[in-house]
Amino acid sequence: MDFPEETLWKSTGKLRPLHLGSPRWKVLGSFRSTPSRSTLDRKVLQSFMSFSLRPDRGPTPDLHARSMRSEIARIEHAVFTNAPSDLAWKLFSDWRHWPELSDIYGSPIEWKGSPWSPGSRMQFDIVRPVRARMDRVITICTPPRCVAWINHVYGYTMEQWVLFDQYAGGGTRISTWIELTGAELCPDGKDASEVVKGVLEEWFSNFCAKCDEVASRL
């Protein structure tokens, strides 16, 4: 049985040529005068698989030189309103009045697709804490129970859920959570999760007050 000379390759460089007549081949053991085909093939396979890769050239990368803040940050917040859950959802889903709840909005809210339908996109500009374009893709919407979206803004990706839990004694607990990921969670020395939390608390506090005001007139 003839065995051609073999050379193994690595994606970033060459490995040492592996010759059948090299001492490394002989380490595998001596052959009988008439080895069986299966024994010979097994020895060839063992020889070709028992190699070690050369390390990449250059210094070892300093993993600590990069920011290690690319992990997920979770933000949670909850408020209570005297409004029933169906009313709270009705007010929440009326995006045209959102600019009345906060001064972060820098443009009208626009939709691509049917509003609040999974797969539709809600887009608008914000003016703080940075000027940016918000692009939200609705993933789940089950009125008046919950809504969720994926948000892309300023290099960050945020998954957000808003839930409306009706209390048996009246009123609604409105809770929200965000999971925030990005290349760096501390831009300009500020903790992005704390900045987002501050905006979130302000928005839902004003929204809760609006719900209470409308509910008091019923």
Domain coordinates in residue numbering, the chain: 9-49, 69-216
Do the beta carbons of residue 34 and residue 74 sit within 8 Å? Answer: no
What are the start-end ranges of the H helices in 50-191? 85-93
What are the start-end ranges of the H helices in 50-135? 85-93
**Rounded-to-integer distance, Cα 116 and Cα 96, Å:** 13
Residues 108-167: pLDDT tens digits? 999 999 999 999 999 999 998 788 899 999 999 999 999 999 998 777 788 999 999 999
pTM strictly above 0.75: no
**CATH code for the part of the protein at 69-216:** 3.30.530.20
Residues 26-61: pLDDT tens digits? 333 443 444 555 444 444 444 333 333 444 444 444
Pair of tokens at residue 87: 């009313």
Exposed e or buried b per residue across 76-103, where buried means at least 16 C-beta atoms within 10 angstroms of its C-beta: eeebebbbbbebbbebbeeeeebeebbe
Q: Which residue has 């024994």 as its token pair? A: 39
Pair of tokens at residue 88: 């709270």
